[in-house]
Every structure is written in structure tokens, then in C-alpha cells.
A and B are shown apart, each in its own frame.
Chain A
Amino acid sequence: MKSIIGINKEALDQNQYLASLINEGMAAGLVGVEFSKSISFDLMEIFKEVMRMYTRGESTTLKAETAEGLMQSIVYSLDLYLMKYSAPEDAILHLRSSNTNMFYKEAIEYVKHYIEETKNLYRAIETKRIIIPNVVYNETFTKAIPDFFANYDVIFSAQDTSTDIDYPLVFDDMSIKGIMYIRRYLEAFQLENEFCRKFNPSNITALLEAYGKFNRLNYEQSPINIFELIFNNIVFLTLLDKNKSYENLFISAIEFEMIEEQLNRLEKSEIKNLISEGINRVMHNLEINSGNLRDLIYRYSDSMMIRLENALEHGNLRNMVILEVVTQYKEQTVLEIGYRMDNKAFRFVYRKIMDCSTAEDKMILLAKYVHSLGDFVDLLKADCFYEKEYDYVFGSLGNLELSTLITSELKEYILRGEDKLSVLFSNTIVYKYAWEKALIDWLRAVDKSRLQDIELLVHKNLVNEIV
């Protein structure tokens, strides 16, 4: 007799477990050829019984295709039962010591129990699934999976996975069939959902919407993986700010340019290290301690790196992120009070403007990046513009913006007693900054009716401040 060695687990095929277990069992000297033959014979006897049930005792013949399906169902249940043994040697021992027919009956009971456990998992997920307006996502759980449970036949088609499970996961092994596939799908979804639950559903919806707009998709009807959308964005955001709070999941246009510039400067190995650090930082920030979720993230990061390398090579990084959607108003720039860029972003914009050789280029950047009064004034104070360039700058502003600028920055001059701009302009003023002088000089050249409109708005602003 051959010496007995352990079964080679690597050679076991999940989709043909019984067959590969017997083959490996023979190779390991645990079973002989006679055992294999007896299993074949026993399977035939089980098949006859199942066929009798299928035809309600009315036939002993079937189409080969139908018969094959019945046999696959029998073997599927046996496979699932055998796979419950973590040591394949134990599986083969149990099979060898049992009557195959009894073993099959045990297998059916085991599969029924497995189905119930899977249903419980589904119910647990349903209570925690994030709420987003995507039909594919919702109907997978409200319709497709319940339909699967309602129609699943453990005797005649245990291997069947006919269902409309359309919501895509980041990892989905479609080679697995039957109830095992559903269980794995739900387990994988549960991990993705655990991650997604750390974010505000309305922010996730906004991200989805922006994704749809950029890719010209109907975000409510398309199969979009939520985990991937969120994860990519927050990893990149974390590269810019290690202690990011993730209240806003979007990347702004400036932030995107900063990220792209940073990544393009690095070698592949440096990018890999940077992303890896970023991912570890994300897991730290979000307090992700679950081993399974961390494993999922590490697995995903491998495919993310490949995609990132391709994207950088082809200049398609924009396709990996979701940018903030900036609403365009009628006026060229919209200067909001209160909102301000962080220092890193400001330095980035300042450097870019200083690198421009023409006023037109500076204006393009100003329109693209600067949307707050505070940032606008800081750039003016930083002497980004010279002489004639100020004409372009102030000429790009509307009356409302000019009045806001004047009220905010020239208030001290106005409140010295000059309530008319025209009177203010006629006096000699000592300015703190060059831009203040440039603004007054520019306003002096504006036509009278426009100046009156601006003056009125300034007066209203001052009154509102007092009130």
C-alpha cells in the first residue's frame, strides 16, 4: 500500500470538490481505485432516486441535459457538505466511513441549514444597508436575492444561480454557483457596506450624482460600485491632508491638480509607497480594525494601484476621481464670504498665478480657482498682479462683487466720513497695499452711472452691517 501523505489542498477544485478530493485522496494513498468506483456506483443509485422524485415516479428516462442538471445538483450538495471540513483528510474519512446514500441525506440537511444561515445574513444586511437612490443597488436586495431564496431548489437544482443580482462588487467570483455564491456575495457586500456606512448617505448620493454627470450616466439606474467611488476619493484626499475628516467626499479642482502634479513627479515605487501610506492613514482615520475589511481594502489597493499607474501613464487620472461640481453663475467670478482655501491649496494657486507670463493666463486661473472674497483679497495683497493687470482683475468683477470688495476692504476709508465714493476718490489717500490704490484708480475711470450703482450697493451693504 502506498504511504499515506496529506492531501494537496492546492489541487482541490471548489467547483468539483468531490471529484478532486477523491483524486487527491488516491494520490495521497488515503483511498483506492475501488473506492472511486464505488462512489460512482452509489452516485448512480442516488441519481435514480432523485430522478424518480423529479418525474414523480412516472418515468425512468430524461433528456441528458436535464439528467446532467440533476446529477450536478446531487454533487453540488455533496461538495458543499464536504467543504465544511477544514481538513480535507477528515472529509474523505467521513465519506469513506459512511454509506453514500446516508452521506447525501446529511448533505441535503446541511445545505438546508446553510440556506437558513444565508437568509439570516441577508436579513442582517438589510437592516444596515445604506440608503441611496440607485435602482440596481436597491433591487438587488429587495427583489433579486429574495427571489433567489423563494425559487432555490436544493434537490433538483442546487447548483443554480439564476437571479438578477446586478449590483457589482469590487470582487465577485462568478465561477462559484448556487447558494454558495449568494453567501459569498452577501459576505463581500457586508464588508463593503461596513465601510460605506462610515459616510453620510446624502454625501454618497451627491458623489453618485456627480459620477453620473461626469460619465453621462443615469446614476439612479446604472450599476455603480459605491465602495470604489468613495474609497478612491478619500485615499486621494488623504494624500493632501493626513488628518482629513471626510465630511466632504469630493475633491475640488485645485486639489485634483495638486494630487496629479504630486503623483506625476514621483517614480512608480514612490507612488506605491505613497498610496500605501494613504490607505493605512484612511484605515486609521476611519478606525477600521476588522481584519476582514482590512483584507478587502488591501486586496482592492492592488487593483487600484494598477489602475492608477495606467491612468497616470495616459493622463486619465481624472477618470479615477470624482470632482466637486461647481455651479456656474452669470457673473464671471463668484466671491463668497466666509469660505477660504487651506494654506496648501492657496500656495498652489499663488505659485501657478506667479508662473503665468500673461494677464490672460492669470485671469483664467483666477476664474478657475478663486471663489472666495478672502482668497481673492489675499492674492491681491500677495502682489500677484502688476499695473495694467489690475484692469483685467477689476474689470472681471460684477457690480455686486465690487461692492462687496469695497465694503469689506475699503470700509475704514469710507467710514472716515466719506459717504460718496466720488468724494472718496477726490481725496488724497494713503494706502496700505498697492492693490487698494489700483482699485481706486480703476474706479475713478468707471463711467458715472455704473459708479452710482456700485455706490448704492456699498451703501446697502453698510446699512445691512449696522442693522
Chain B
Amino acid sequence: MGFLDIIPKMELSFIEDGAHEIMLTNEISKTFGLNLSSQDSREIIIARNTTLKDYGRIEVDTEITRKIIMQFCSSPYIQQDDYMETIIEIQDLFHYIKNELDDNIGDDELIEKLADLYNYKCFGVFELLEGRETENIIRQYKFGDDYDQELKEEIDELN
């Protein structure tokens, strides 16, 4: 009874269940004018499964995707027409960084950091987040830069 024997069976019935859980986030996101349809939700789950497979990772539920949605739905830089794609991109980046850091960063910590960077340093430009800022995160956690402190100072200034 290998581990992989268990997970795929769960996944087959997981897409619909997962999509349903994703759609529950609309309760909060609608206050920011954002909404995910059932189709959007399914696509997010399917993209998430592809990401996990590509990066050789597993996830036991949809908590991470929901946390990403909750953290980013309040961003002033996300509009309805790019909402689903942005969530998919952030999801992918999240798992990429988790792999690079050998899971040595908590989920909440990483999601909050990505949201802060997206909003206060990248001003909604995902390519900047994916490029320069991701490299900085990885360097900070691997080699212990003072990166975090600089970001905190910048956020404080803007606020």
C-alpha cells in the first residue's frame, strides 16, 4: 500500500469538492468586488494539481489556495478579469519557493510575505514578484540577508 496509491484516488473526487471550498471564499472576496465562478474554481484546483505534480509536492487539502485567495483578494492591484489567473500564478510561485527552501518556511509566513511584496514593492507586477523578489526571498532564507527588515521598513514608510 504505497502512499501514491492513496493520494490519486483522493484527487479524482477532489476537484469538485475543492472547487466548492474555493467558492466559499467569495463570501469575503465579494466585498472587494472579486468573485470566482465554479468554472474558475475548478480551473484553480486543476492548475494547483498540475503545479503539485510538476514540483513533486503533495497537499492534503485546499487550505493553501484558500489562504492565498484570502490574502490577495484585498489587493488594490487585482481586478476581476485577472483574478483567477493571478491566484493560479501566486499558487505556482508559492510551491516553487517552498521547494527551493526545502519546506523551511511556514505557509502563512510565505503567503503574507508574497502579498506584502506584491502590493508594496512590485505594485501588482507579478513578473517582478516572480523574478527579483523571489530571488531575494530565497537568498534571505538560505543565507540570512537583512532583506526582511528592509521590506518591513518600506511598508512602514508607505503606511
Residues of A within 8 A of B (CB): 16, 18-19, 22, 39-40, 43-44, 47-48, 51, 55, 58-68, 71-72, 75
Please measure, in the bound complex, the distance between the C-alpha atom of A71 and the C-alpha atom of B7, giving whole angstroms: 11
Across-interface contacts of A63 in B (CB, < 8 A): 56-58, 99, 102-103
Could you tell me the distance between the alpha carbons of A2 and B1 in the complex, rounded to whole angstroms?
Answer: 23
Residues of A within 8 A of B5 (CB): 40
| Interface contact B3-A62, CB-CB below 8 Å | no
Q: Which residue of B lies closest to A23 (CB)?
A: B1
Find out whether the CB atom of B60 lies under 8 angstroms from the CB atom of A22.
Answer: no
- In the complex, residue of chain B having the shortest beta-carbon distance to the beta carbon of A37: B9
Provide the residues of chain A in CB contact with B59, threshold 8 Å: 60-61
Residues of B within 8 A of A65 (CB): 56
Contact B103 A16 (CB under 8 A): no
Q: Is B133 engaged at the interface, CB distance under 8 Å to the other chain?
A: no
Verify B60–A51 contact, CB threshold 8 A: yes
Chain B hits for A58, CB < 8 A = 106-109
What B residues does A64 contact at CB under 8 A? 56-58
A residues in contact with B158, CB < 8 Å: none
Total interface residues on B, CB under 8 Å, equals 27
> How far is it, in angstroms, between the C-alpha of A75 and the C-alpha of B58 when the chains are bound?
18
Q: Is the contact region of chain A dominated by helix, strand, or loop, or is it mixed? A: helix
Q: Collect the chain A residues with CB atoms within 8 Å of residue B121's CB.
A: none
Given A40-B1, A47-B60, A51-B60, residue A61 in contact with residue B107 (CB < 8 A): yes
Cα–Cα, bound, A16→B10 (Å): 21
Residues of A within 8 A of B107 (CB): 58-61
A245 to B1, CA, bound (A): 55
**B42 at interface by CB-CB < 8 Å:** no
Nearest-CB distance from B109 to chain A (Å)? Answer: 8
Identify the closest chain B residue to A19 (Cβ): B1
B7: A residues at CB distance < 8 A: 44
Return chain B residues, CB-CB under 8 Å to A40: 1, 5-6, 9
Q: Assuming the A-B contacts A40-B9, A43-B6, are A62 and B1 also in contact, with contact meaning beta carbons closer than 8 angstroms in the complex?
A: no
- Complex A-B: 20 CB contacts under 8 Å: A16-B1, A40-B1, A43-B6, A44-B6, A44-B7, A44-B10, A44-B60, A47-B6, A47-B60, A59-B106, A59-B107, A60-B59, A60-B64, A61-B64, A61-B103, A62-B58, A63-B103, A67-B3, A68-B2, A68-B3
Question: Closest CB-CB distance, B99 to chain A, in whole Å?
Answer: 7
Q: Which chain A positions have C-beta within 8 A of B4?
A: 68
The answer to whether A59 and B103 touch across the interface, beta carbons within 8 angstroms, is yes
The 3 closest A-B pairs by CB, nearest first: A58-B106, A19-B1, A71-B3
Chain B's nearest CB lies how many Å from the CB of A215?
A: 44
Choose one: B58, B61, B64; the contact of A67 (CB below 8 Å): B58
